[in-house]
Amino acid sequence: MHIQDGFMIGKWAVGWYGVSAVFAAKGIYEIKKRSRENQMFKPLLGLFSAAVFFISILPVPLPGLGTSSHAAGTPMAAILAGPFAATVLSMIALLLQAALFAHGGITTLGANTFSMGVVGSFLGYGLFKLGRKLGLSLGVAACIAGIFGDLAVYVTSSFQLAYGGIHKLSVLTFLGVYMPTQLPLSLVEGLVTGGMVTYIARVRPDILVNLGIDKAQK
Amino acid sequence: MVKVQVKRMIKESFLTVDAIAQRDNVFTRMDARLKVLFCMSILGTIIVLPGLRLPVSVVALTFTAVVMIRTPFKVILARLVPPLALGLIFLVFMLLTEGQNRLFTFHILDIEVSGYREGFLIGLTILARITASMAIVMFLSVTTPIYELGRALMWFRIPEVIVEILLLTYRYIFVLWDEGMRIREAQSLRLGYYVGSSPGGWKRSLRSTFTLMAMVVIRAYDRADHTFSAMSLRGYNGKLARNTYGAWNRIDVKSFVSCFVLVAALIFASL
User: A66–B196: do the CB atoms touch at under 8 Å?
Assistant: yes
User: B83–A89: do the CB atoms touch at under 8 Å?
Assistant: no
Whether the Cβ atoms of residue A118 and residue A87 lie closer than 8 Å to each other: yes
Asked if B209 is an interface residue toward chain A (Cβ–Cβ < 8 A), one would say yes
B20 and B99 assigned to the same domain: yes
Q: Which of A65, A107, A173 sits opposite B47 (nearest CB)?
A: A107
B127 and B170 assigned to the same domain: no
Longest CA–CA span in chain A (Å) reads 59
pLDDT at B184: 85
Mean pLDDT of chain A: 85
B150 within domain boundaries: no
B235 and B127 assigned to the same domain: no
Q: What is the DSSP string of chain A?
A: -PPPTTSB-HHHHHHHHHHHHHHHHHHHHHHHHHHHH-TTHHHHHHHHHHHHHHHHHSEEEPTTTS-EEE---HHHHHHHH-HHHHHHHHHHHHHHHHHHH--S-STTHHHHIIIIIIIIHHHHHHHHHHHHHTT--HHHHHHHHHHHHHHHHHHHHHHHHHHHBSS---HHHHHHHHHHHHHHHHHHHHHHHHHHHHHHHHH-HHHHHHTTSSPPP-
CA A193, chain centre distance (Å): 11
User: B206–A61: do the CB atoms touch at under 8 Å?
Assistant: yes
Comparing CA positions, the residue from B132, B110, B109 lying closest to residue B51 is B132
B135 within domain boundaries: yes
Which DSSP category does A39 fall into?
T
pLDDT at B50: 81
Instruction: Give the count of beta carbons closer than 10 Å to the beta carbon of residue B163.
Output: 20
Q: Which of B199, B212, B218 sits opposite A63 (nearest CB)?
A: B199
Range with the lowest mean pLDDT among A63-72, A182-191, B84-93, B188-197?
A63-72
Comparing CA positions, the residue from A9, A47, A195 lying closest to residue B175 is A47
Instruction: Give the count of beta carbons closer than 10 Å to the beta carbon of residue B207.
Output: 16
Q: Which of A4, A95, A101 sits opposite B86 (nearest CB)?
A: A4
Closest Cα in chain A, distance from residue B127 (Å)? 8
User: A49–B169: do the CB atoms touch at under 8 Å?
Assistant: yes
* Chain A neighbors of B132, CB-CB under 8 A: 6
Beta-bridge partner residues of A31: none
Compute the distance between CA of residue B167 and CA of residue B108 in angstroms, rounded to an integer.
Answer: 53
User: Residues 5-24, chain B: which have Cβ within 8 Å of A?
Assistant: 7, 10-11, 14, 17
Across the 271 residues of chain B, what is the mean pLDDT of every consecutive 10-residue run?
52 68 85 89 86 87 90 84 84 86 84 87 90 91 89 89 90 84 85 68 83 88 86 79 73 80 79 70
What is the share, in percent, of chain A residues with pLDDT greater than 90? 36
Range with the lowest mean pLDDT among A142-151, A158-167, B5-14?
B5-14
Which DSSP category does B156 fall into?
T
Per DSSP, the three-state class of B25 is coil
B22 and B130 assigned to the same domain: yes
Return the residue of B nearest to A7 by Cα.
B126
- Over the Cα atoms of chain A, what is R_g? 17
* Chain A neighbors of B167, CB-CB under 8 A: 46
User: Is the sign of the CA dihedral B135, B139, B142, B145 positive or negative?
Assistant: negative
Which DSSP category does B239 fall into?
S
Compute the distance between CA of residue B17 and CA of residue B149 in angstroms, rounded to an integer.
Answer: 13
B195 and B163 assigned to the same domain: yes
* Chain A neighbors of B129, CB-CB under 8 A: 5-7
Whether the Cβ atoms of residue B194 and residue B204 lie closer than 8 Å to each other: yes
Compute the distance between CA of residue B30 and CA of residue B65 in angstroms, rounded to an integer.
Answer: 13
* Chain A neighbors of B20, CB-CB under 8 A: none
pLDDT class of A198 with cuts at 50, 70, 90? very high
User: B228–A44: do the CB atoms touch at under 8 Å?
Assistant: yes
Can you give the residue range of the structural domain that contains B112? Answer: 1-145+246-271
Domain count within chain B: 2
Whether the Cβ atoms of residue A13 and residue A111 lie closer than 8 Å to each other: yes
Q: Which of B129, B172, B213 sits opposite A196 (nearest CB)?
A: B213
Closest Cα in chain B, distance from residue A133 (Å)? 24
CB-defined contacts A:B, below 8 A: 229
Compute the distance between CA of residue B141 and CA of residue B21 in angstroms, rounded to an integer.
Answer: 7
B254 and B129 assigned to the same domain: yes
Return the residue of A nearest to B16 by Cα.
A100
Residue A66 pLDDT greater than 70, yes or no? no
pLDDT at B170: 87
Determine which helix (DSSP H) or strand (DSSP E) holds A37, and give its type and residue range: helix A10-37
* Chain A neighbors of B16, CB-CB under 8 A: none
Please name the residues in contact with B27: beta carbons below 8 A apart, sequence gap of 6 or more: B35, B65, B69, B139, B143
Domains in chain A: boundaries: 10-210
* Chain A neighbors of B214, CB-CB under 8 A: 195-197, 199-200, 203
Asked if B75 is an interface residue toward chain A (Cβ–Cβ < 8 A), one would say no
CATH for A10-210 (3.30.70.360, 1.10.1760.20, 3.30.70.260, 1.10.10.10) = 1.10.1760.20
Closest Cα in chain B, distance from residue A48 (Å)? 6
Residue A130 pLDDT greater than 50, yes or no? yes
B31 and B65 assigned to the same domain: yes
